Structure 1
Amino acid sequence: MKKRCNWANNNELEKIYHDTEWGIPVHDDQTLFEFLILESMQAGLSWSTILAKRTTLTEAYDNFDYNQISKYSDSKIEELLNNPGVIRNKLKVKSAISNAKAFLKIQEEFGSFDSFIWNFVSGKTINNHWDTIEDVPASTELSDKISKELKERGFKFLGTTSVYAFMQSIGLVNDHMDYCFRK
């Protein structure tokens, strides 16, 4: 039996996500945007909730196409707020739109969001070593710095804890437990 990080043993969706995505370095802007939105949607909710709604969120948010999302109208916002398969928080829905616009501005300035975000770690994953889930921080000085930079650039719902979770999801940091088969 595979020994995985203990947070990923609660249900099949968590196991699959842990085993196939979490902590693997991501350099594709479309996927980076998807994870940014999912992490911003998670604020105040469990990751299990987000994973359970991921398919519906993907469909409702046009496959996380930031070009389309940046142009969402009031009628699209209402459609999302009436969709039981998504996170129906008006501030979070509106933040997806402002985050898409901010994402596009970063692409213009840096050539890609990938270049911007990976520059914070000089292009190399930070490999941490943890024995228990309790050892893993909820945020770090680096997530504070990235969160502050994102907020200054117009991003919303991406505080330091959400940013640290984003960093973990895209492989900026490797926080798999030392005993985990993915380490």
Structure 2
Amino acid sequence: MQLKIEGVILMRRCQWADLEQTPESLKRYHDEEWGRPEYDEQKLFELMCLESYQAGLNWQTVLNKRAAFLKAFHNYQIEAVAAMTEQDLNLLMQNQDLIRHRLKLAATINNAQQIEKLHIQGKSLTDLMWSQVDYHPIDHRVSDLQTLPSANSVAQALARDLKKLGFKFLGPVTVYSFMQAAGLYNDHEIDCAFH
């Protein structure tokens, strides 16, 4: 797809982000975040959480509630989220600005606690994730996102490993979506300006 101003093609986006009815917030997400290699652990944690919230919903719903999630979860500061209690979880369940799914919200707190366990072992979420692709984004040379699977063997193995480590709500499809969002996979279409 393409962005035209006064008949001049300025850039092309992936088809999913460039439909006529695509909201501006989704276009901005595509242009500014999706598929860009992210190494900051706090940002990776946020993206992982956002992907886990999407299960069963559309991405626009998650984007619409992102600011509320940032506020509720202390901007995804891992230590602060890991310290949240059952009482905090009960308050989150009353917050109408969030996706009020108790298991998803509890998984956010749990997963922060699991990241802290990695830290005790001298590891990080960044290393755990980026080691899956030898610390370099993998370019799938996508001509059409419809040709991509919803998960692959790397995402399946990583989802199993995360489960063994105690992480929750991160199945293979969610993990693959996270890997796309965080730029571990370059799944921008090859004619997209952001490929």
Shorter-chain TM-score bucket reads over 0.9
1:143 is displaced (CA, Å) by 0.3
Cα deviation digits, residues 34-62 of structure 1 (max 9, x gap):
01111111111111111111111101111
Looking at secondary structure, tell me which structure has more strand per residue: 2
In structure 2, what is the equivalent of residue 4 of structure 1? 13
How many angstroms does 1:112 deviate by?
2.1
Letter in 2 for 1:140: N
Alignment partners' CA distance in 1, 2:28 and 2:170: 25
Counterpart of 1:46?
A: 58
> RMSD value over aligned CA atoms?
1.1
> What letter is aligned with 1:5?
C
1:116 corresponds, among 128, 131, 147, to 128
* Aligned 1:144-159 pairs, distance under 5 A: 144-159=156-171
C-alpha separation in 2, matches of 1:104 and 1:126: 28
Which string of whole-angstrom CA distances, capped at 9 and with x for unpartnered residues, describes residues 113-159 of structure 1? 21121111111110011221211211000000111111110111100
Q: Is the contact made by 1:110 and 1:116 (CA closer than 8 Å) also made in structure 2?
A: no
Of Structure 1 and Structure 2, which has the larger fraction of its residues in helix?
A: 1
Alignment map for 1:22-171 (pairs within 5 Å): 22-171=34-183
The match for 1:182 is: 194
Structure 1: runs of 5 or more not aligned:
none
**Match for residue 8 of structure 2?**
none
Runs of 5+ consecutive residues of structure 2 not aligned to the other structure = 4-10
Q: Deviations over 1:87-123 (max 9, x none)?
A: 1011111111111111111233243221121111111
CA distance in 2, matches of 1:46, 1:16: 16
Question: Displacement of 1:79 after TM fit?
Answer: 1.1
- In the alignment, the residues of structure 2 paired with residue 133 and residue 121 of structure 1 have an alpha-carbon distance, to the nearest angstrom, of 20
Length-normalised TM-score, structure 1: 0.96
Q: How many residues were matched structurally? A: 183
Higher-RCO chain (CA-CA 8 Å, sequence separation at least 6): 1
1:23 Cα deviation after fit: 0.7
